[in-house]
Amino acid sequence: MNIFESEHKKLKNTIMAEFRFKALEEVLNRKPVEVAREDNLTSDYYAMYVFDRPKMKKYLSREAYKAVVDAIENGTTIDRKMADQVAQGMKSWAMENGATHYTHWFHPLTDGTAEKHDAFIELSSDGSVVEAFSGKLLAQQEPDASSFPSGGIRQTFEARGYTAWDPSSPAFINGTTLTIPTIFISYTGEALDNKTPLLRAIHKVDKAATDIAQYFDKNVSSVRTNLGWEQEYFLIDEALFMARPDLVLTGRTLMGHSSSKDQQLDDHYFSSIPSRATAYMIDLENEAYKLGIPLKTRHNEVAPNQFEFAPIFEEANLANDHNQMLMDLMKKVARRHKFRVLFHEKPFAGINGSGKHNNWSLTTNTGVNLYSPGKNPKSNLQFLTFVINTLKAVYDNQDLLRASILTAANSHRLGANEAPPSILSVFLGTEVSKMLDLMEEAVVDRKMTPDEKTALKLNIGRIPEIILDSTDRNRTSPFAFTGNRFEFRAVGSSANNAPAMIVLNAIMAKQLIEFKASVDAIIEKGIKKDEAIFQVLKDLIINSKPIRFNGDGYSEEWVKEAAKRGLTNIKSVPESLSAYLRDENKKLFDELGIFNESELEGRVEVEYEKFIMKIQIEARVLGDLATNHIVPTAVQYQTVLLENVKNIKEVFSAEEFEELAAARKDLIREIGGHITAIKAKVKEMIEERKKANVIENTVEKAEAYDKKVRPYLDDVRSHIDKLELIVDNELWPLPKYRELLFVR
Ligand code: ADP
Ligand code: MG
């Protein structure tokens, strides 16, 4: 045994490196968890833990049932007497299904949901307990609001907050707890959550879209917002996950050299699902179905160990509740399968990150999808009206839409050549684009050529039949028309859908209100309705033209072209967030009754704070790991090399030594260079953090974190990743990318 080997043997037992190898061994010994197959058909047990309409019918009086349905369909309030009846029915059903507790479940402004369980029990005068639940407890509760973020809305002397029942999303049983979806507001009525403004925005777009739909069909009395989310995620083995403190604490790898092979061969997308992952998915689906979450699609995504779930679309508020429930369930079920789910938008550098495409559409109570091209010219004029107004809304509010989705985590994904660019544009496909071009060219007073006439099939209002080519897709567009809906693809995988849906529905409502005013003004001048609509649409087409882009959103040319068109391209989170606070946007939300000024400011404050915290935590974790994992490992290996050089010198002649030791000496220098750089950069990073921490103004502080601290994350990392390539594999403490992504 030479000195190198003996040193090596001693060092190999370094606890950290051993942790990595043990984790790998554990993974190699895993078997897929046996998931019992459900004996019944999915339809037999679907929604068994949901207090849905069939169950309400069974457990409620006719009167109480009607009150709830009325509340769901028409937004009427449920009085206390009725609420008492509903509470009794709910309790009976819940207890028959094993529930012992109840909770008000809400979406605070954190990344997740909140619940506090209370037992049904109450003490009787003789000291025994009875199970009780009342309309009062169902309708409203008062959790201590002071520990939830509010961005300064909620003064400490007004710490009270209320949760209030949202009957439009049915109660469900989670484990042994009857769970009641609620909104969360402050004592003074300001929204402290994601659901309240979402409901407000949905209500606004309902009203505005109904008014427009009535131009075409007087029977329309309401319009529903639909959301179908596609949830991307990574599954990482628990043992490997636990051996990566950066994954545990920040949800992403702050270091790690790319694997020589990752997704270059496109061999993961839609490929056969690995068996442990399949078992996980089946287990998860069984549970999701019982909670009434209509999961439809599962598949492998582009990156190794990356997957996707998509449900059948639903009403947006319910769909969003279901997304939050599913994310929670995904984490829980993963534990049974010795997996951890990563929802982070960019857990691994250099390969695809995860998003949550928001498929969005509007349907009338008469069953018409307003984004479906119709079979006749009249319904096509309606279709075009909604498409063109959407274009204008997106064009006018690019910055707001971006602000709704750009977070510290999602900023790694946007513009990273595998995800939507940080420039907003709309893809319409060739057919719809052609239509708009024809409408734009159709001059009201000019006689059209026979060709133009044929092309437009001028039945009424110059609106031709539209035949969509379903293969006309564009994966590089952040906002794409996909045949009967728009797909907002820039939403982050870890995000609550609400901010994106609030902004989208708000800007759409505003646009439709303006559209109606313009059309009505023309009608008043004695112009026919269809003609008036056509005229306004023509203007909108012209005025929103720069937002239309059917080409490659990832290309360099597009960045240049977009700049020429005056489209904004913002990558910085603090800069993007500032869009919310522009006067015109404050006015927009205030006039629609979605956010008053203080609610909006509070919310944006929370976002700035989140951004600061995320960068701060990442900087701390990276600093720690660099100092106490990486540098010591590098030093150890350097020592081995130094010993080796000394030994060579002892054994060989001076001449031979020079030749033999040259490469080793270079390596020692190289390692030394990285160690020095890491130490210096970490120190600088800490200094910048200290400077940023004393800044009082949140916006300025966020900017300091963005511009001064954040660059060090990449900088320090680059040295670590180079060390990873040269340090002895057996000493390296953290599971490598090739292991995290391929050992399963
Ligand atoms: P793709 O990956 O091709 O976009 P997926 O099947 O993964 O398609 O997901 C499409 C999502 O869009 C599903 O959640 C689906 O229910 C939803 N969706 C389909 N039609 C509509 C619609 N009209 N409105 C809203 N969402 C829709
Ligand atoms: Mg899609």
My answer on whether 485 and 570 are in the same domain is: yes
Say whether pLDDT at 443 is over 70.
no
pLDDT tier, 155 (very low <50, low <70, confident <90, very high otherwise): low
Count Cβ atoms within 10 A of the Cβ of residue 294 and give its class: 0-12 exposed, 13-18 middle, 19 or more buried: middle
| Amino acid 393: pLDDT | 98
488 Cβ below 6 A of ligand 1? no
What radius of gyration do the chain's Cα atoms show? 29
d(CA 78, CA 80): 7
Q: 129: CA distance to ligand 2 center in Å?
A: 52
Residue 134 has pLDDT above 70, yes or no: yes
User: Using alpha carbons only, what angle is made at residue 97 by residues 94 and 98, rounded to the nearest 5 degrees?
Assistant: 95
Model confidence at 463, pLDDT cuts 50, 70, 90, reads: low
Count how many domains the chain has.
Answer: 3
Is residue 604 a part of any domain in this protein?
no
Which residue is closest in CA terms to ligand 1's atom 3?
482
Flag whether 602 is in a domain.
Answer: no
Q: Which atom of ligand 1 is nearest to the CA of 484?
A: 23
Is there a contact between 275 and 32 (Cβ–Cβ < 8 Å)?
Answer: yes
Ligand 2 centre to CA of 524 (Å) is: 42
Asked if 493 contacts 343 with a C-beta cutoff of 8 angstroms, the reply is yes
β-pair type (101-106, 118-119)? antiparallel
The identity of residue 633, as a single letter, is: T
Ligand 2 center from residue 233 Cα (angstroms): 15
**Which of 205, 178, 200, 203 lies closest to 189 in space, CA to CA?**
200
436 and 501 together in one domain:
yes
Residue 228 · residue 359 · CB < 8 Å: yes
Q: Which two tokens stand for residue 213?
A: 């739909």
Task: Pinpoint the alpha helices (H) of 626-709.
Answer: 631-651, 654-693, 698-704
The verdict on pTM exceeding 0.75 is yes
Q: How crowded is residue 470: how many other Cβ atoms within 10 Å of its Cβ?
A: 9
Contact 160, 186 (CB under 8 A): yes
Q: Is the C-beta atom of 269 inside 6 A of ligand 1?
A: no
Q: What are phi and psi of 383, to 5 degrees?
A: -55, -50
pLDDT of residue 159: 67
For residue 670, the domain's CATH number is 1.20.120.1560
Show which of 145, 165, 193 is a domain's final residue. Answer: 193
Domain-embedded: residue 659: yes
Q: Helix (H, G, I), strand (E, B), or coil: what is residue 191?
A: strand
- For residue 186, give its domain range: 42-193
Task: Return the structure tokens found at 642.
Answer: 């130094």
* Among candidate residues 716, 686, 713, 691, the one with its CA nearest the CA of residue 704: 691
297 pocket-lining for ligand 1 (C-beta < 6 Å):
yes
**How many other C-beta atoms lie within 10 A of the C-beta of residue 696?**
6
Residue 448 lies in a domain: yes
Q: Highest mean pLDDT: which of 112-116, 371-375, 454-458? A: 112-116
Mapping DSSP onto H, E and C, the string for 615-630 reads: HHHHHHHHHHHHHHHH
Residue 226 within a domain? yes
Atom of ligand 1 nearest to the CA of 310: 14
- Our CA angle for 191, 194, 196, nearest 5°, is 50
| Pairwise CA distance, residues 724 & 734, whole Å | 9
Ligand 1 atom with the smallest distance to the CA of 369 is 23
DSSP code, position 375: S
The three-point CA angle 491-496-499 to 5° equals 70
Task: Give per-residue pLDDT as tens, 393-410.
Answer: 999 999 999 999 999 999
Q: Same domain for 133 and 186?
A: yes
Task: Determine the Cα–Cα distance for residues 68 and 117; give it in Å rounded to an integer.
Answer: 24
What's the whole-number mean pLDDT along residues 636-659? Answer: 93
Amino acid residing at 35: V
Supply the DSSP symbol for 292: T
Ligand 1 close to Cβ of residue 270 (< 6 A):
no
CATH number, residue 437: 3.30.590.10
Cβ-based neighbours of 732, under 8 Å, separated by 6 or more: 17, 20, 633, 724
Residue nearest to atom 24 of ligand 1 (CA): 361
Q: Which of 193, 210, 237 is the last residue of a domain?
A: 193
CA 635 to chain centre: 41
Q: Is the pLDDT of residue 346 over 80?
A: yes
What's the length of the chain? 744
Q: Are residues 331 and 275 in the same domain?
A: yes
Closest CA to 611 of 356, 424, 410: 410
Output the pLDDT for position 448.
Answer: 47
Beta carbons of 302 and 354 less than 8 angstroms apart: no
Q: How far is the CA of 229 from the centre of ligand 1 (A)?
A: 7
Same domain, 630 and 537: no
Q: Are 332 and 339 in contact (CB under 8 A)?
A: no
Cβ–Cβ under 8 Å, residues 267 and 296: no
Same domain, 587 and 617: no
The pLDDT tens digits of the residues spanning 498-537 come to 999 999 999 999 999 999 999 999 999 999 998 899 999 9
Averaged pLDDT, 137-165: 78
Is residue 356 within 8 A of residue 491, CB to CB? The reply is yes
Q: Whole-angstrom Cα distance, residue 488 to residue 230?
A: 11
**Widest pairwise Cα distance in the chain:** 106
Locate tokens 């004996």: which residue? 39
Residue pair 379/270 in contact (Cβ under 8 Å)? The answer is no
State the average pLDDT over residues 214-243: 97
Q: Tell which one of 308, 482, 485 to mutate to probe ligand 1, the residue whose CB is within 8 A of the most ligand atoms.
A: 485
Task: Examine the domain organization and report whether 588 and 617 are in the same domain.
Answer: no
Assigned domain for 555 exists:
yes
21 and 117 assigned to the same domain: no
Whole-number average pLDDT of the chain: 91
Are residues 430 and 281 located together in one domain of the fold?
Answer: yes
Ligand 1 in reach of 312 Cβ (< 6 A): yes
Same domain, yes or no: 649 and 538: no
Q: Is residue 603 in a domain? A: no
For the CA of 360, the closest atom of ligand 1 is: 25
Rounded (5°) CA angle 381-384-389:
125
Residue pair 192/185 in contact by the 8 Å Cβ criterion: yes
Specify whether the CB–CB gap between 115 and 105 falls below 8 A. Answer: yes
Q: Is 230 in the pocket of ligand 1 (CB under 6 A)?
A: yes
**Distance (Å, rounded) from C-alpha 518 to C-alpha 512?**
10
* Encoded amino acid at 703, one letter: E
- Same-domain check for residues 448 and 511: yes
- Average pLDDT on 325-350 reads 97
Q: Indicate whether residue 420 lines ligand 1 (CB < 6 A).
A: no
Q: Can you read off the two tokens belonging to residue 728?
A: 């002895």
Q: Could you say which of 193, 217, 249 is where a domain stops? A: 193
Confidence at residue 154, expressed as pLDDT on a 0 to 100 scale: 60
Q: Pick the residue with more confidence: 245 or 431?
A: 245
Instruction: Tell me, yes or no, whether 616 and 696 share the same domain.
Output: yes
Q: What is the mean pLDDT of residues 416-429?
A: 84
Q: Model confidence at 459, in pLDDT bands (50, 70, 90)?
A: very low
In the chain, the percentage of residues whose pLDDT exceeds 70 is 92
* Structure token digits, residue 105: 């479940």
Please indicate whether residue 19 or residue 7 has the higher confidence score (pLDDT). 19
- Ligand 1 atom with the shortest distance to the CA of 311: 14
C-beta of 355 in contact with ligand 1 (< 6 A): no
Task: Report yes or no on 443 lying in a domain.
Answer: yes
- Mean pLDDT (whole number) for 647-674: 93
Q: 177: domain CATH number?
A: 3.10.20.70
Supply the residue whose CA is at minimum distance from atom 2 of ligand 1.
230
> Which runs of consecutive H residues, i.e. helices, occur in 525-596?
529-543, 556-565, 573-577, 583-592
Does the structure show a pLDDT above 60 at 4?
no
Q: What pLDDT is attached to residue 187?
A: 81
